Amino acid sequence: MPNTSGCYSFGVRGGTEPQSISGAIADGRSEVAPVEIRMVVGEASRPSTYEVWTKDVIYEFDASMHCVGVRETSSGKPSTAVRQYVGAKLIGGRSVEGDTVHMSYPLPAVGHRALLSRDEHDMAVTKPVARVIMNLELWTCATKPGSFPGAR
């Protein structure tokens, strides 16, 4: 079936490593690693929007910040240890140092523990976050179909 939307993707989803948006960002107390961005050229199966990595688990979230999958960091296979978090909402991150609590929103900062809410009475806290990735989907749209050479 021909594409009549005027939007076309070029290339394929690459295994490119995520790129940091800048160097570390100062948060007033220490250096905080930035969110990494993975450029994803438009494809039929949309990847998760956000990935929150801990030492053992990769939590995958959609654009509404709901967990849509959990994988083992070592193998990439679905994790059975924390599958109960699928469906939970990511509400940020926190770290505690003595009498001080550091919060991050809407994503956990590296070093913070992600906060997941399954309902108004049930909140879970992950192990410390090692990396945060945003999958940025890229599309090229034309005002006239067929105006891009090689459009699919």
**What pLDDT shows up at residue 42?**
60
Q: How many domains does the chain have?
A: 1
Q: Which of 42, 39, 35, 34 has its CA nearest to residue 16?
A: 39
76 in any annotated domain:
yes
Burial grade of 145 (CB within 10 A; 0-12, 13-18, 19 or more): middle
Q: Which of 71, 34, 35, 65 has its CA nearest to residue 49?
A: 65
* C-alpha–C-alpha distance, residues 59 and 114, integer Å: 10
55 in any annotated domain:
yes
**What pLDDT shows up at residue 10?**
39
97 in any annotated domain:
no
CA 108 to chain centre: 11
Q: Which domain holds residue 57?
A: 7-87+127-141
33 in any annotated domain:
yes
150 in any annotated domain:
no
Q: From the CB of residue 4, how many other CB atoms can be counted at a distance below 10 Å?
A: 7
**pLDDT above 80 (res 99):** yes
pLDDT band at 152 (very low <50, low <70, confident <90, very high): low
Distances (CA, A) of 143 to 5, 6, 106, 150: 9, 6, 35, 16
109 in any annotated domain:
no
What tens digit of pLDDT does each residue of 2-59 get?
444 444 443 333 444 544 443 344 444 445 566 788 877 665 455 688 999 999 999 9
**What pLDDT shows up at residue 27?**
45
Question: What does DSSP assign to residue 27?
Answer: -
26 in any annotated domain:
yes
* C-alpha–C-alpha distance, residues 69 and 124, integer Å: 16
120 in any annotated domain:
no
**What pLDDT shows up at residue 105?**
92
